[in-house]
Amino acid sequence: MKTIFSAFFITLLLFSCSKEQKITEPLSFYKYTIDGFEKFSLTGTRLQPEISVYFSDPIARTSLANGIQVYDNTGKIDVQISLSNNDSTVNITFPTPLKYLTKYELVINDGLTAVSGSNLNTTIQASFTTIADSSDKFPRISDEALLTLIQKQTFKYFWDFGHPVSGLSRERNTSGDLVTSGGSGFGIMSIIAGIERGFIPREEGLQRLLTITDFLKNKAERFHGMYPHWLNGATGKTIPFSTKDDGGDIVETSYLITGLLCASEYFDKGSANESSLRQTIKEIWESVEWNWYTKGTENVLYWHWSPKYNWEMNHQLRGWNEALITYILAAASPTFPISKDVYDKGWASSGNMKNGKSFYENVLPLGTDYGGPLFFSHYSFLGINPKNLKDKYADYSQQVVNHTLINHEYCKANPKKYYGYNAECWGLTASDTKGGYTAHSPTNDQGVISPTAALSSFPFTPKESMEALKYFYYKLGDKIYKQYGFTDAFSLHHIWFADSFLAIDQGPIIIMIENHRSGLIWDFTMKNKDIKSGLDKLGFSY
The mean predicted confidence, pLDDT, of the chain is 95
What is the domain-level CATH number for residue 527? 1.50.10.140
Gap between the Cα atoms of 539 and 522, Å rounded? 19
pLDDT (0 to 100) of residue 24: 57
Q: Establish if 1 belongs to a structural domain.
A: no
Last residue of a domain, one of 95, 130, 165: 130
Identity of the amino acid at 173: N
Residues 111 and 210 in one domain: no
Gap between the Cα atoms of 288 and 300, Å rounded? 17
What is the domain-level CATH number for residue 55? 2.60.40.1220
Q: What percent of the chain has pLDDT over 90?
A: 93
pLDDT (0 to 100) of residue 9: 39
Q: Which domain holds residue 84?
A: 23-130
pLDDT digits (tens, 9 = 90+) for 296-337: 999 999 999 999 999 999 999 999 999 999 999 999 999 999
pLDDT (0 to 100) of residue 10: 38
pLDDT digits (tens, 9 = 90+) for 64-78: 999 999 999 999 999
Residues 152 and 96 in one domain: no
Last residue of a domain, one of 130, 158, 187: 130
pLDDT digits (tens, 9 = 90+) for 178-214: 999 999 999 999 999 999 999 999 999 999 999 999 9
Q: How many domains does the chain have?
A: 2
- The set of residues, in sequence order, having a beta carbon less than 8 Å from that of 279 and lying 6+ positions away, is none
Identity of the amino acid at 63: S
Please tell me whether residue 47 adopts helix, strand or coil conformation: coil
Cis preceding linkage at 496, omega within 30: no
Q: What percent of the chain has pLDDT over 70?
A: 96
Residues 172 and 45 in one domain: no
| Residue 97: exposure state from Cβ atoms within 10 A (0-12, 13-18, ≥19) | exposed
pLDDT digits (tens, 9 = 90+) for 476-488: 999 999 999 999 9
Q: What mean pLDDT do residues 210-225 have? A: 98
Residues 111 and 147 in one domain: no
pLDDT digits (tens, 9 = 90+) for 340-397: 999 999 999 999 999 999 999 999 999 999 999 999 999 999 999 999 999 999 999 9
pTM across the whole model: 0.92
Last residue of a domain, one of 130, 151, 172: 130
Which residue has better confidence, 25 or 5? 25
Residues 107 and 154 in one domain: no
Gap between the Cα atoms of 343 and 339, Å rounded? 7
Instruction: List the beta strands (DSSP E) in 376-512.
Output: 430-433, 436-439, 481-482, 485-486, 490-491, 496-497
